[in-house]
Structure 1
């Protein structure tokens, strides 16, 4: 296998993006990014020497991590890095990895190299099943790159392989949905069912999302009905898919109606539901982003939303969410301590949860004789934030607690946690 080298003049890799992806994971890989950025555009051999030097000094995990990062960012240096890694004694050929490289080459217009690598993969396939599964991987990888024609050509090859099973249907439905072709995906879904392979909830959800993202909301609802007719119950994941599609198109009244129907069916909401719905509410997002002036109680917030005609539907959505069990799922209450964990919540969702938690805390203090020894709010210190070390959730909690003159303070042992004695919180609230 001989992959030609692309020059930096042909492709402009995002070195900053690569450095960000590799930072803190492998020092050698990070250094490789810097070295490749400085390599001469007209001297592929210089880049080859740098890659060889990197691999000679790197462990297997470091080399594979670097390759994964280069592939995820569509770097032109990913194919030559893959070629050199494939020569290592520890390398184990994987069809999915080969398919990913083929799709990247095709995306970069290096079709001859892509075909060479494809033929190599075909020659490695020992059975019809191996070959069919490789083509399935290739279909999915092409679709992730938005390459419609290669998807269709590969599917034509796949149909010539004597292999029966679910996987070809699954891969093609996924690919068509990723490429924004919901009608074709639904046709393949029906073909799958008629062949004796019962579609799973995943295939139905993919088609539902593809219709919804394309703005074909009536078709989306029709497929939801087809899913139920097929004996597959609507669950929280499906609810979130539909809500995200309504939110994507700003259909807040439809979102509110859907949530009411799902609640009446007994379908539980999740943290993802909170994030999806509230991120689609422009007024709530705007309010939550201004911690210095946001309402400090649920009553104030709802009144503010209801007083503005453009945001009354948002008030209904907030009420639907806060009537769910999500707060109970992410909080604890016992004599030894009460805890609220905000991990996974976006800023607007964390704001609504905090208001509801304060409301619930006050109710418990008034109706129950229990005062927990300690009360805490876990918000994280920003390790996973876009700006590492700066947590927008922590900033929100800090500002709210300051404005409400709360006794809760940042834990001296854990900067991502606010804590106070239960009695102090009780005295503050009551």
Structure 2
């Protein structure tokens, strides 16, 4: 039976063929690995190893993860091989998860011996080891890595080494859903280190993910008291936390606080809010239901309760257009890179309204061409399949828009400015 492999962005076609062959060929695994390493470019071999070391591969295809160690062992014999702490740490964490503790410890001991005279690189290896264990939710592996880092933190005379270990430990506790330990460690006495905004934001997000909102807000207030700017990134963490737990009214309060304090909305702000609105998710993911609202007012009328209020708040703030739209006489371009489905949907509706307003204003005129960039799906879960492009195409077809897929680039839509202006006038009359 042919083995189905889900392609991650880093896995090449050649690497995919190798993994499929491993699952179907009668040849021994060692022979197949040897032929693959000898006949493939260095970049292909390393990206295939990276794929096998990924936690997502370990969970989805555990039988493939067992190939990582024999492939790594063969790579170390290649003339182009260069040892890196990141790869060694990732492999040690994987081996620990698979129960191969002796092999994992051997890799750690080798790294420690190699780097003991280079403490800056050693702390980086231990930090990568902790990070790799946290991504696999390995409590025992994490505690081992913590022991190494904590020892370096308390014995090193280098401020750089101490600060690096400190950052990894705090963010590690947060990744393991242990924010109280992270907070106590970050602010604990005796270390001689002062937390930065990075450590405190990590704690904010960890509390928020767990729904510990009082603690989350307390740490945000702590940041402000210490003189740190509560910026868009921090607000987005708070919004995402409330949204994950369905607290739309709390999200509304923080969105209004952002506007009051002139903290700009970002692409992630739109993603964080729309991802937590069931009606928006349903409309944009289940296009066959034919529920897409085609205008801002129509959308507002169709949403209720807290969900309608937070979406209304986003739609009422159009500063984001200055970030994602370029307007000049030759071309108007809207770039949807970075947006999730819900965020892209709202931005397209806002863009159409903004275009209608500007094209009716003598100060702007009518541009020669309009371009709406969706991307070609290079960063999609399935490479080459842009869900945002599919959504936009559905919207354009339903609206009868002159914007059509570019014949040489299916990741964008184009149209003549005059055609769009005429269409917008007709489309507004249709909605009214």
Q: Is the 1:128–1:163 Cα contact (8 Å) retained in structure 2?
A: no
2:129 maps to: 138
Q: Is 1:326 the counterpart of 2:310 in the alignment?
A: no
Match in the other structure for 1:83: 73
The structure 2 residue matched to 1:98, chosen from 88, 97, 103, is 88
Secondary structure of 2:409's aligned partner: coil
Bigger mean CA offset, 370-379 vs 154-163:
154-163
1:263 to 259, 265, 268: 259
* Correspondence list, 1:253-332, <5 A: 253-289=249-285, 291=287, 292-305=290-303, 311-322=304-315, 323-332=317-326
SS in 2 for 1:154: helix
Q: Is contact 2:182-2:203 (8 Å) kept?
A: yes
Q: CA 1:237/1:340 → structure 2, altered by over 3 Å: closer, same or farther?
A: same
Q: Distance in 2 between matches of 1:64 and 1:379?
A: 30
Separation (CA, whole Å) in 1 of partners of 2:327 and 2:346: 19
Distance 1:189 1:15, change over 3 A: farther
Please name the residue that 1:32 is paired with: 18
Corresponding residue number in structure 1 for 2:4: 16
User: Compared with structure 1, are the counterparts of its residues 174 and 312 closer, same or farther at alpha carbon in structure 2 (3 Å cutoff)?
Assistant: same
Alignment of 1:119-268 (within 5 A): 119-127=109-117, 129=119, 130-161=121-152, 162-164=155-157, 165-191=162-188, 195-268=191-264
Q: Is the 8 A contact 1:22 1:69 kept in 2?
A: no
Q: Work out whether 1:50 is the aligned partner of 2:32.
A: yes
C-alpha distance in structure 2 between counterparts of 1:334 and 1:141, whole Å: 47
Deviations, residues 142-196 of structure 1 (Å, cap 9, x unaligned): 22221222322333344444314211111111211111111111111113x7633
Query: Structure 2 vs 1, CA of residues 146 and 372 (structure 1 numbering), >3 Å: closer, same or farther?
Result: same
How many residue pairs end up in the alignment? 405
**Displacement of 1:388:** 4.6
Tell me how far 1:413 sits from its aligned partner.
2.9
1:348 paired residue number: 342
Aligned counterparts of 2:388 and 2:17: Cα–Cα separation in 1? 33
Instruction: List alignment gaps of at least 5 residues for structure 2.
Output: 59-64, 426-432
Partner Cα separation in structure 2 for residue 158 and residue 347 of structure 1: 40
Secondary structure in structure 1 of the residue aligned to 2:380: coil
Matched, 1:367 2:361: yes
SS in 1 for 2:410: coil
**Offset at residue 140 of structure 1 (A):** 2.2
Q: 1:407 to 1:31 in 2, by over 3 A?
A: closer
* Alpha-carbon spacing, 1:169–1:386, altered in 2? closer, same or farther (3 Å): closer
Aligned-partner Cα distance in 1 for 2:145–2:388: 46
Cα 1:26–1:406 shift into 2, 3 Å:
closer
TM-score, normalised to structure 2's length? 0.87
**Which residue is 2:430 aligned to?**
none
Supply the RMSD in Å over aligned alpha carbons.
2.4
1:93 match: secondary structure: coil
Contact kept, 8 Å, 2:9 with 2:379, in 1: the verdict is no
Could you tell me how far apart the structure 1 residues matched to 2:229 and 2:354 are?
A: 32
Q: Normalization by structure 1: what TM-score?
A: 0.87
